[in-house]
Structure 1
Amino acid sequence: MHSHETTAWMEALSAAVVDADGDVDPYGAVLEAVVSALPEVDGAVLCVVKAGKPVTVAVHGDVADPFTEAQRHLGQGPTVQTFEQRTTITSADLTTDIRWPKLGQMVVALPVRSVVCFPMGDPERPVTLTLYAAQPSALDHLDADLLRLVLAHTGIALAALAQRTRAQNLQRAIRTNEPISVATGILMTLHGCTEADAMAVMTAASRAQNRKLSDIAAEVVLTGAMPPPPTGS
């Protein structure tokens, strides 16, 4: 790969992180950069694991999602095995691979033959990156140096996006919990109740009125009034 081509996909990876708050799916942009860097690859899919099964986060290519769903349904395949063993899994031809005979039968209808699946992320938040091609053995001779470079930069991009997501979740939690803390203090001060009693009253009102606890708390902050007890209590 020429230096200007390498620069192009590396810039695309960087843009996926920098522009993560924009209209473009950042994980989809990461996969697009990966596929553009590796000409032998026809598509890619990024997965996490939930309840022991792969769940699609982002795809590049029309058949990436059906391929993951087939593995999810059968409980077998390279993505499943990568999650289980935390090691790179390859297949030169899924239709003849004896490790996953049921998957081999299902992918006959899909243009997915050769696959390589990499473990990404950390053990607490496992992620898999699966690359596929429509032709058998198409991924057998990927440029090893280029592949290492792509995986390293992809790992950095995914870690940065995960960190951004955690920071955004923390900010949302702080914004949600702040009025609850303030409301608790108001009820303790104006009505002489304990912290536990204040939370119990607001929680009971939230359930009885089918409203968010944060909305009940915001009302307390606005009025200073004790939430009414549930009907019949």
Structure 2
Amino acid sequence: MPDAQHLVLFIAAGLLLNLTPGPDVLYIVSHALRAGVRAGVVAGLGITAGCFVHIFAAAAGVSALLAASATAFTVLKWIGAAYLVWVGLKLLFARTPQAQPDLEALARSQAPADLWTVFRGGFLTNVLNPKVAIFFLAFVPQFIAPGTGHEALAFLALGTLFNVNAIAVNAGWAVAAAWMARRAAVQRAMHWLDRAAGLLFVGFGLRLAMAENPTR
């Protein structure tokens, strides 16, 4: 494990990375805008669960194999890209309720979010992105001192710390997006926000599809 100074640096770097907008943040925000804080938080928890898959895989050496194998990386990359594009197309063609001045009436007009579907979507958004696996493999070992015994356990501890810290950041994104959705101007713009989010998801999917294995 790193000393106190490096541990603080690790936590700070992790928080900054989690604040950076990307597919995960966009997934949380889009659901919080449409269905409220609870849906946004559940989306974040799905992403957290997906991150744990990558953390355990990296500790077990699976991510190292993924980084070294062009075929494995390419297969997972195309699956992940297709999924992101599919999410984007769903948003592009989604029907958005008309804005209403009465927030209670607006809430009644929307069907409750299927939280299991939201969770599963966040999980898949993260798990099917091989760049997340490569990220953990590249980022976390920098904070493990050379010669540390039980490196796999140290990796798991740091990866878990990174992931647990991300929960608060993800919840913050959900709260902020849900608060914005209660503003009348945002309600009126919801149709275009869905379309913008859909285009961004499609863009993330296309960018992933064109990505090369970063270790090659």
Q: If the length of structure 2 is used for normalisation, what is the TM-score?
A: 0.25
When you count helix as a share of all residues, which structure comes out higher? 2
Q: Higher relative contact order at CA 8 Å, sep ≥6: structure 1 or structure 2?
A: 2
When you count strand as a share of all residues, which structure comes out higher? 1
Q: If the length of structure 1 is used for normalisation, what is the TM-score?
A: 0.23
Indicate the structure (1 or 2) with the bigger Cα radius of gyration.
1
